[in-house]
């Protein structure tokens, strides 16, 4: 049986919103795995997750998540 790797995200403001909301639909491994390819504009992926994929994230949390991802995993 394959074991899933434990992902530890960078400790910074907004991490709680990321951990709570993002891993409902996918592994947190998505974040560091895609960070080499996504800058601030690329992390508009959060909006896509809401509008296209139907992620149940409110707008305030979406802003917090995007800010966290941009500051810690953008560029």
Domains by residue range for the chain, with CATH: 24-73 (1.10.760.10)
Q: What is the pTM of this model?
A: 0.87
Contact (Cβ atoms closer than 8 angstroms) between residue 75 and residue 42: no
pLDDT at 2: 56
pLDDT at 28: 94
pLDDT of 13-68, one tens digit each? 999 999 999 999 899 999 999 999 988 899 999 999 999 999 999 999 999 999 99
| Cβ burial 35-72 (10 Å sphere, 16+ → b, else e) | beebeeeebebbeebbeeeebebeeebbebbbbbbbeb
**What is the distance between the alpha carbons of residues 8 and 62, in angstroms, rounded to a whole number?**
20
């Amino acid at each position: 049986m394959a074991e899933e790797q434990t992902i530890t995200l960078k400790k910074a403001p907004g991490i709680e919103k990321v951990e709570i909301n993002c891993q409902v639909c996918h592994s947190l491994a998505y974040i560091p795995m895609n960070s080499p390819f996504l800058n601030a504009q690329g992390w508009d992926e959060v909006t896509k997750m809401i509008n296209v994929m139907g992620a149940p994230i409110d707008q305030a949390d979406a802003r917090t998540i995007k800010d966290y991802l941009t500051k810690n995993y953008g560029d």
